[in-house]
Amino acid sequence: MINSPSIANCDLLRIGQQIDELIRGNVKFLHIDLMDGHYVPNLWFPINIVKAIKQAHPQIVADVHLMVTNPFDYVDVLAASGANYFSFHLDSTSFCIRLINQIKSKGMKAGVVINPSQPIASLEPLVPYLDLVILMTVEPGYAGQKFMDGSLERLAALNALRQKHQARFLISVDGGIDYPNSHASLELGADILITGIYTVFNQPDGLTEACLRFENAMSRHSEGGAS
């Protein structure tokens, strides 16, 4: 299990300090949302947040999720900023394979994000090209939403698609992650859990302890020792 906390949940006045706390909690991935105010009705994080994080913490995997109307515009700048994963929404371009190839040509791993209203089967033509699929379990654009009904069934279908093609892309689950649905998601094939306020942020003992506790609970569950 990879814990990839979404820094959209950080306190903007303490974001550097909180990222340090996450890393002390054994976090290796950081999920970085970029929103343009068009694809989703919200603006979030300037692009240079990626460069700032990578300069301060070069070892961290920058897991960048673009909620933008023209993801092609971001490839060069995010590659130069040190992004490791570049994930775009399936419906944000008519030329997914071209974009995936461009992302990979710049040394990044390519991911596609699928919204709750989109059929899992629509990913099938892209399977040979993908490094990552982000399964949205909330409507994109805002942190703190509840995990949507039917999401686990969609995760099972996505994992079945991966197995059908013997593909190697990672599956990431994004939205409303809590302890019960984390356990269920791992059992159904998830590799990455994008964590937020229900597991990591706003916890009484702070970010570091919350991350360590979550990782320990997921490890015990995978070994059959958790309820």
Q: Which residues are catalytic?
A: 33, 174
Picking from 53, 190, 91, the residue whose alpha carbon sits closest to that of residue 134 is: 190
Location of structure tokens 């409507």? 139
How far, in Å, CA of 136 to CA of 154, rounded? 10
How far, in Å, CA of 116 to CA of 127, rounded? 18
Element (H, E) at 85: strand 85-89
The full 3-state SS of 61-112, as one line of letters, equals: EEEEEEECCCHHHHHHHHHHHCCCEEEEEHHHCCCHHHHHHHHHHCCCEEEE
Location of structure tokens 């019960």? 180
